[in-house]
Amino acid sequence: MAMAARLSGGPGRVPVLWLGLFAALLLLMVSGCSTETHLSFLDPQGPIAAAQREHFYWVLGVMAVLVAGPIFLMLPFFAWRYRYGNKAARYAPKWKFSRLLEIMSWGGPIVIVVILAFFVWRDSHRLDPYKPLASSQSALHVQAIGYDWKWLFIYPEQGIASIGMLAMPTGRPVAIEMTSATVMQSLFIPALGSQIYAMGGMVTQLYLLADKPGRSLGENTMYNGDGFHQQKFDAVSMTPDDFNVWVGKVRASGIALDQRSLKAIAQRGTRAELLAALPGPKSQDGNAYFSGVTATLFPAVVKGTKDGTSVALSHSSQQPATSDAEPTHKPAGPATGKAR
């Protein structure tokens, strides 16, 4: 009780409001910092997240200057001006019209809306998830399928796939096609930027780029059942040479993605439950890696989910793995489910 009374605003004491504001500011400053895994767009690992951070600071500045600023400046003035016993303050309870008050009441919100609308309109076009990123390198093609409760990342040009890890070479754009084999889901890598929905029977698209090596958190932000909180993965950016080495290791030691493996993946369960059900040797990092991936898997999942039929692998139409430097497929999809 005594402590609460002290914090509530006695002489020389710090009000609870200011303590809360200071704590919120401190949390905002450190929320993007991480020693191993990058968690937030406030600690950007690519140009998209950096642009989103810039947008956030602009909007925060506008709100602070035009909304919070006048409130915190005028509140002490009104409290002092109209304090009890101040006979100099004019008391006029009956009035009909004030031009100055009307201008202030309508002009302020109009200015705020116009400024915020400019930033939202500009950055909505600049950060369009379907807009290819400017680069001298061709984009790495990746296909993402959302299951309950895991993400399957397919590298069709390399003939491999992974669950629990999205690997990408630093400095090279990544073109991600995504769909869901179950309910609507949402793929989000905050430190790289953007969030976009994956829907059954439909294909959405996302372009990302990591400009430095590192590990970033990826997750599903659309609730889809008991294992929702475990549907996370690591987005790992590495040098091009390291990426080629990683591709070679997965090709050599990955589990064959056959009908049995695909059935285990489609079962509702976490990544740990999947690893227990998969045949063959398991990886040491808690992820699942697959080789011999057919080029027809992703479209077959899209069609099967849309039609409500089971997915059958067509090994006869499997394309040979090609060099990751020259993709043979250009991703395309309907402009649905956008959200950056």
Q: Which residues contact 121 (CB under 8 A, 6 or more apart)?
A: none
The predicted pLDDT at position 35 comes to: 52
The predicted pLDDT at position 134 comes to: 86
> What residues of the chain score a pLDDT lower than 50?
1-14, 16-17, 19, 30-34, 316-337
- Do 191 and 332 meet the contact criterion of CB atoms below 8 Å apart? no
The two tokens of residue 284 are 């040491």
CATH number at residue 44: 1.10.287.90
Same-domain check for residues 159 and 300: yes
Same-domain check for residues 285 and 313: yes
Same-domain check for residues 267 and 300: yes
Q: Which residues contact 194 (CB under 8 A, 6 or more apart)?
A: 48, 52, 127, 129, 188, 206, 208, 339, 340
Full-prediction pTM beyond 0.85?
Answer: no
Q: Whole domain around residue 188: which residue ranges?
A: 140-317
The predicted pLDDT at position 82 comes to: 83
What are the distances in angstroms from CA 123 to CA 48, 58, 95, 126, 314? Answer: 11, 11, 45, 5, 42
Same-domain check for residues 191 and 301: yes
CATH number at residue 224: 2.60.40.420
The two tokens of residue 78 are 């009104």
Using the Cα atoms of residue 14, residue 19, residue 20 and residue 22 in order, give the sign of their dihedral: positive
Same-domain check for residues 148 and 120: no
From the list 294, 291, 290, the residue with the least C-alpha distance to 312 is 294
d(CA 153, CA 239): 19
Domain C-terminal end among 98, 127, 156: 127
Strand runs labelled E in the chain: 37-38, 140-147, 150-155, 160-163, 165-169, 174-180, 185-188, 195-198, 204-208, 214-220, 232-238, 255-256, 288-291
Query: For residue 274, what are the β-bridge partners?
Result: none
Residue 28 lies in a domain: no
Residue 309 lies in a domain: yes
The predicted pLDDT at position 284 comes to: 77
Structural domain count of the chain: 2
Domain C-terminal end among 127, 148, 169: 127
Give every strand in the sheet of 150-155, ordered side by side: 204-208, 174-180, 140-147, 150-155, 160-163, 288-291, 255-256
Same-domain check for residues 265 and 145: yes
The predicted pLDDT at position 315 comes to: 54
Same-domain check for residues 76 and 120: yes
d(CA 142, CA 212): 19
* Burial of residue 73, with CB atoms counted within 10 A of its CB: 0-12 exposed, 13-18 middle, 19 or more buried: exposed
Same-domain check for residues 175 and 213: yes
Residue 23 lies in a domain: no
Same-domain check for residues 120 and 169: no
The predicted pLDDT at position 64 comes to: 87
- Do 113 and 194 meet the contact criterion of CB atoms below 8 Å apart? no
Burial 103-139 (b: 16+ CB within 10 A, else e): eeeeeeeeeeeebeeeeeeebeeebebbeebeeeeeb
